[in-house]
Amino acid sequence: MKKMQPTLAAERQYVVEKEKFVPVSQYFGEDTFSHAVIKEKLPKDVFKKLMQAMNENKTLDEETANVVAHAMKEWALEKGATHFAHWFQPMTGTTAEKHDAFADPCGPGAVIERFSGKQLVQGEPDASSFPSGGIRATFEARGYTAWDMSSPAFIKRNGISTTLCIPTVFISYTGQVLDKKTPLLRSLRALNQSALRMLKLLGAKNVKKVQVNLGIEQEYFLIDMDYYYKRQDLVLGGRTVVGAPPAKGQELEDQYFGSIKERISSFMHDVEEELYKLGIPAKTRHNEVAPSQYEIAPVFEEANLAVDHNQMIMETLKYVAKKHRLAALLHEKPFAKINGSGKHVNWSLSDDQGNQLLNPGRTPQDNIHFLVFLIATIRAVYKHSDFLRATVASYGNDHRLGANEAPPAILSVFLGEQLTQILDNIEKGTVHKATNAEIIDLGISSLSQVSKDYTDRNRTSPFAFTGNKFEFRAVGSSQSVACPAYALNTIVAESLDDLAEKIKAKGSKNINQAVFDVLKSEIAQVRPILFNGDNYTREWAGEAKKRNLPNEKTTPGALKALVTDRALKLFEKYQVLSNEELKARYLIHTERYIKDLEIEVNCLANICLTQVIPAAAAYQQKLARAILDAKEALGSAAVISSQAELLKKILDLSNDVYMACKEIAAGMQAAKGMDSEQKKAEMLCARVKPKMDELRESVDALENLVDDEIWPLPKFWEMLFIC
Ligand code: ADP
Ligand code: MG
């Protein structure tokens, strides 16, 4: 391929014409219809009604909704908005929005800007083209969007167009869930109730609300846009389906936390500016392990907000990248044999009294709360590790989980030595009477000072306790956090309820004693899920098998956990997802797996047949010509073995590529005959996927032989090192 000169890339650097510096505190959240704005813009009584509706999860009466909508419209017009949109999160995994102009005809040749309470509260997008898993047939195309008051409306700027976006849930006209936000909101409600019940049982007073917090660390790649547009696999599927590893990868360990290149720093600055306007507290940025890989992490927030914000972060990364002539790659594994991208989801609970419930505290009572919530979470993960695994299963994430760079497909919990010791002591029955002195003796109080650094050391664990939160590290970089979050919330709600029942059943007057008795037997039962060692080793896979821990390496296998009797009952009981809704999700995820694979197969075939084989043929011809020419010039004295050997190799590899393409096509054809999506997915996974890998090897071998000037695809070294 005609090489792009590094100097050219440098010239393309986005020039930041820095206007006068404005401290972030002066514009943070200026594009959100925040509490402060609401308070300022609304009459006092309306503000009160709105707050009440928000806190109690109630719907607004029409009159109030009209007043709120009017204020929102006036505010949006001031910001330059011409349209409003219900912004929702369908099962595609990304966000969706349908814009409607504020301008409305009012008499001949005139318009007026209008926005009613009804338009604010509910929308009716023709939603027939969203994945529904069979819930809503296309002839019943109506879907509803309904305002989610717990996440602020915001202004979305795109070029010169400005739109007011209203976060909403998305449901069918029969009331069934069609999105990712609704189960999340329901799970937050369920967990709040179960946690409050538990705290009350433990004697906590005054606590009225328990909330889930999420801190979401987002990894991504950036490459020059010129390269991006020359690769249909990246543009269409997000991942390079062929490409040989570069001579230098990440082995020098010089990238992680390395100094950030100027072009990238400017990009990050712009991203953060956009995020600050949207009230997203972007905090940390750094180079990641792989070349051209980066991370952005905002400060943790209430879960629903954090999930919305993560969607907005992903979108902003892509949007701002274009302005800098870069492409942001959010795929879990854009480059084979180079580290992939994940999303660490830091999960914790806090109450409205300012207590972090997973924080070991200073008093024995705090520590009892801590132990109960800690063990309830471990128990939940142990009982439902298969479900949790299913929520992070995707075609893209299959490349990552278990590939010795990310946590394996086996879920285990890391606690660190000190905490493990404390659990050991509880199990051994060191706490006899559960007196305050004994509880303090457990050494929990000292945990809070040391545990953060101490526990954070094991980076190989998929589910690690890190001081005052759990960090779920198996989520893929492009995935919505809503699914793993609703799963985690619901399974922990169940464990809290189960533990509460057991504590109550002890009938003991000494509540602390009852708690420790229950914890003692629970610890014994959840032991198999606890693992402090290196999760990347083969020994662990063997050990996990002995412990009967599931190890589902592929998405078709993992997804089955969504529809076990156990799962169906649980999510129905907590009113997070009905059986029908969960089964629909299973189908949607399975279909998605198939579609992702099909897209890649089509890209791969196209690249092979229209780029790779023609390039190989051109080089073959060049070599053949050279051999003939040499023979002609030198006669029998010509030594042409090197070129002849090369020619033969290239011919063989081209044949391999062509044959593999044919076999893949046959596999695709055979899969069409399967009588269920499940079987189709399994067949594609077992038969077609390995062939794709095989094909890739041949293409990559060709890449390393064919004349660089002829090779039609940007190579890894260019994409990852020229920027
Ligand atoms: P790292 O994992 O990179 O060492 P940290 O674990 O300190 O960094 O923090 C990563 C993320 O965890 C950040 O988004 C941070 O805001 C979030 N976080 C910190 N404390 C909590 C908490 N109590 N609950 C949820 N997230 C948290
Ligand atoms: Mg972390």
Three-state SS letters, 122-151? EECCECCCCCCCCCCCHHHCEEEEEECCCC
Instruction: Look at 263-267, 332-336, 449-453, 549-553 and tell me which has the smallest mean pLDDT.
Output: 449-453
- Please give the torsion angle defined by the CA atoms of residues 236, 238, 239 and 240, in that order, rounded to the nearest 10 degrees: 50
Chain centre distance of CA 676: 28
> Cα–Cα–Cα angle for 415, 470, 554, nearest 5°?
95
Measured in Å, residue 146 CA sits from the centre of ligand 2 at: 34
24 CA → ligand 2 middle, Å: 24
Whole-angstrom distance, CA of residue 393 vs CA of residue 554: 8
Tell me which DSSP letter residue 177 carries.
B
Question: Rounded to an integer, what distance in angstroms lies between the CA atom of residue 84 and that of residue 70?
Answer: 12
Cα–Cα nearest to 194, from 485, 486, 488, 497 = 497
Residue 136's pLDDT is what?
Answer: 63
Spatial separation of the C-alpha atoms in residues 371 and 512, rounded to whole Å: 11
Q: What are phi and psi of 168, to 5 degrees?
A: -140, 160
**C-alpha dihedral (606, 612, 618, 620), degrees to nearest 10:** -130
Give the ranges where 149-224 is alpha helix by DSSP (H): 181-201
CA of 306 to the centre of ligand 1 (A): 12
Q: What's the whole-number mean pLDDT along residues 394-415?
A: 86
Which pLDDT tens digit goes with each residue over 292-330?
999 999 999 999 999 999 999 999 999 999 999 999 999
Lowest mean pLDDT among 119-123, 450-454, 687-691: 450-454
Residue 19 pLDDT > 70:
no
Nearest CA to ligand 1 atom 24: 348
Structure tokens at 442: 């457990």
User: Around 354, how many Cα atoms within 13 Å sit in the side-chain half-sphere?
Assistant: 0
The torsion region of residue 284 among left (phi > 0), alpha (psi -120 to 50) and beta comes to: beta
Mean pLDDT of 135-163: 86
Give the type of residue at 219. Answer: E
User: What residue's CA is closest to ligand 1, atom 4?
Assistant: 456
The minimum-distance atom of ligand 1 relative to the CA of 295 is 3
Going from the Cα of 354 to the center of ligand 2, the distance in angstroms, rounded, reads 22
Q: What does the pLDDT read at residue 7?
A: 44
80-84, 166-170, 628-632: segment of lowest average pLDDT:
628-632
Stretch 26-45: mean pLDDT: 95
Ligand nearest to the CA of 280: 1
d(CA 664, CA 651): 20
- The preferred substitution site among 275, 300, 358, 455 for testing ligand 1, maximizing ligand atoms within 8 Å of CB, is 300
Strands (E), 18-95: 83-88
pLDDT digits (tens, 9 = 90+) for 476-498: 999 999 999 999 999 999 999 99
The residue type of 482 is A
The mean pLDDT of 205-217, rounded to a whole number, is 96
What count of other Cβ atoms lies within 10 Å of the Cβ of residue 599? 17
Which residues 6+ apart lie within 8 Å of 451 measured at CB?
Answer: 360, 416, 418, 419, 467
* Burial of 408 per CB tally in 10 Å (0-12, 13-18, 19+): buried
Q: Which atom of ligand 1 is nearest to the CA of 468?
A: 23
Packing angle between helix 364-383 and helix 181-201, nearest 10 degrees? 140
Would the pLDDT of 76 be above 60?
A: yes
CA distance 33 to 220: 29
What does the pLDDT average to over 602-625?
97
Say yes or no to pLDDT of 402 above 70: no
Percent of the chain with pLDDT over 90: 77
Question: Around Cβ 98, how many Cβ atoms within 10 Å?
Answer: 16
- Rounded CA gap, 587 and 136, in Å? 13
As a whole number of angstroms, the distance between CA 369 and CA 356 comes to: 10
3-state helix, strand, coil in the chain (%, to 5): 50, 15, 35
Q: Which residues contact 7 (CB under 8 A, 6 or more apart)?
A: none
Cβ partners under 8 Å of residue 177, min gap 6: 169, 170, 171, 183, 577, 581
Residue 143, pLDDT score: 84
| Cα of 649 from ligand 1 centre, angstroms | 52
Average pLDDT, the chain: 91
Q: How confident is the model at residue 8 (pLDDT cuts 50, 70, 90)?
A: very low
471 alpha carbon – ligand 2 mean position (Å): 6
* pLDDT for position 224: 97
Measure the CA angle with vertex 354, ends 348 and 355; round to 5°.
55
Rounded distance from Cα 202 to ligand 1 centre (Å)? 28
Structure tokens at 467: 């001081």
Residue corresponding to tokens 């899969």: 671
Residue 44 tokens, joined = 């006092």
Q: Tell me the CA distances in angstroms from 119 to 67, 123, 147, 512, one per residue in order.
A: 12, 6, 9, 53
pLDDT-derived band at 214 (thresholds 50, 70, 90) equals very high
> Is residue 448 very low, low, confident or very high in pLDDT (cuts 50, 70, 90)?
low
Which residues line the pocket of ligand 1, CB cutoff 6 A?
A: 213, 215, 217, 297-300, 346, 348, 356, 456, 466, 468-469
Helix (H) or strand (E) holding 347: strand 342-351
Alpha helices per DSSP H over 506-578: 511-526, 538-546, 555-559, 565-573
Domains and CATH numbers, the chain: 1-25 (no CATH), 31-179 (3.10.20.70), 187-577 (3.30.590.10), 592-721 (1.20.120.1560)
User: Residue 343 C-alpha to ligand 1 middle, in angstroms?
Assistant: 12
Distance separating alpha carbons of residues 40 and 46, to the nearest angstrom: 11
Closest approach atom of ligand 1 to CA 356: 23
Bridge-based pairing state of the strands 463-465 and 413-414: parallel
What is the structure's pLDDT at 516? 92
CA distance 40 to 549: 54
Q: What pLDDT sits at residue 133? A: 86
Q: pLDDT tens-digit profile of 129-138?
A: 888 888 766 5
Q: Which atom of ligand 1 is nearest to the CA of 359?
A: 23
Residues 55 and 146: their CA atoms lie apart, in Å, by 16
Greatest mean pLDDT range, 50-59, 273-282, 357-366, 406-415:
273-282
Q: Considering only CA atoms, which of 396, 361, 574, 409 is closest in space to residue 488? A: 574
Residue 54: band (very low, low, confident or very high) from pLDDT cuts 50, 70, 90:
confident
Q: Are 436 and 511 in contact (CB under 8 A)?
A: no
Q: Which ligand has the nearest atom to the CA of 467? A: 1
CB-hemisphere CA count at 13 Å for 229?
A: 6
Taking residue 285's Cβ as centre, other Cβ atoms within 10 Å add up to 17
| Radius of gyration of the chain from its Cα atoms, rounded to whole angstroms | 28
Residue with tokens 């695994």: 389
- Alpha-carbon distance of 390 to 586, in angstroms, equals 9
Mutate-to-test residue for ligand 1 from 346, 348, 359, 488, highest number of ligand atoms within 8 A of CB: 346
